[in-house]
Amino acid sequence: MKTVNIAIMGFGNIGVGTYQGLEVNHGAIAAETGLDLKVAKIIEVDIDRPRPVSPDRSLFTPDRMEVFQDPSIDVVVELIGGIEPATTFMLEAMRHGKHVVTANKAAIAANYEQLIGTAKEAGVLFRFEASVGGGIPVINAITTVLRSNQIEEVTGIVNGTTNFILTQMTQAGRSYADVLKEAQERGFAEADPTADVEGVDMANKLSILISLCFGDRVKVEDIPTIGITGVTPEDIAQAKAEGKVIKLVARATREDGKVVCSVAPARLDAEHPLAGVNNEFNAIYLRGNILGETMLYGKGAGPLPTGSAIIGDIIDIATRT
């Protein structure tokens, strides 16, 4: 049995989901993989916030450097979110010899080269399956077994809020504003939904997918991005009449060696594998030069599905080191 000592940095919803996932599956993971995955530290200032789990108070510390300098810690899971200070903290952890796992799409999209480069220099692994498509194991697939292919296209429905809104508009003929209000009331959309509905969240994820699929960097601000605020019930009805369905998709192709990409509402044929991806579900469609079409589907958000991806990354690191 190999013990893996994990430090969770940032103990919000995703941190709690990861902790819960490790609690419930600790024994099964140990039996299958021979790994004893142990939350050894939680880097968090706010110890007393009400949470659905109650880790021993001795695990909490507000002092990240104490954790980074602790030689017994193997993996740091960054769940602070946002570009900074999260990027700086991840780089610090790597330079102290810690493997890093994160769900932080914004930080990766903004600082991809630096994060990958620093991990390489430091001789540690950097994993971020949860940053695109939540629990869907798409990044692992792209970076391991699908390396057998030259990827020709990646198209993703990688934002649950906008897909929920468009699905409800499509299935019930309701207006954007009406469905957004319901989504906010039900907790599927944030009070300020801008990053989702304007497509910025998807553009972050597309930037990461482009780096992985094409080995090319396109910054978020260079991705042409249109959200769903301009989609009307009439657009949807007209698409429907033509056998099509409107989905917000992040899409990149390589054409004559150049990456062409966008985030925008697209009219998909009813037969397209992404056309049936509804409500809060996400999916990533890939076309490889020898594989042809493939698609991976699942929950793109939520504490437990996201925790599933984070724990998967920890297992991957532990089996490779």
Point out the residues that are catalytic.
Answer: 205
The CB-of-305 to a second copy minimum distance in angstroms stands at 5
Binder among 10, 135, 199, 265 for a second copy (CB under 8 A) = 135
The CB-of-30 to a second copy minimum distance in angstroms stands at 11
* CA distances (Å), origin 110, targets 12, 139, 211, 216, 222: 22, 18, 12, 14, 12
C-alpha 43/C-alpha 49 separation (Å) is 14
Binder among 85, 215, 224, 243 for a second copy (CB under 8 A) = 215
Are 4 and 73 spatial neighbours (Cβ–Cβ below 8 Å)? no
148 sits near a second copy (criterion: CB under 8 A): yes
Closest among 108, 159, 102 to 128, alpha carbons compared: 102
List Cβ neighbours of 36 (8 Å cut-off, separation of 6 or more). 1, 2, 3, 4, 26, 30
Identify the bridge partners of residue 249 per DSSP, sorted by sequence position. 264
Q: Report how many residues bind a second copy under the rule CB under 8 A.
A: 56
276 sits near a second copy (criterion: CB under 8 A): yes
Binding piece for a second copy, criterion CB under 8 A, among 186-194, 197-205, 218-226, 300-308: 300-308
Q: What are phi and psi of 204, to 5 degrees?
A: -60, -45
Nearer to a second copy by Cβ, of 110 and 318: the residue is 318
The residue type found at 213 is C
150 sits near a second copy (criterion: CB under 8 A): yes
Applying CB under 8 A, the residues found at the interface with a second copy are 17, 20-21, 24-25, 28-29, 31-33, 129, 135-137, 140-141, 144-150, 215, 271, 273, 275-276, 278, 288-299, 302, 304-305, 307-316, 319-320
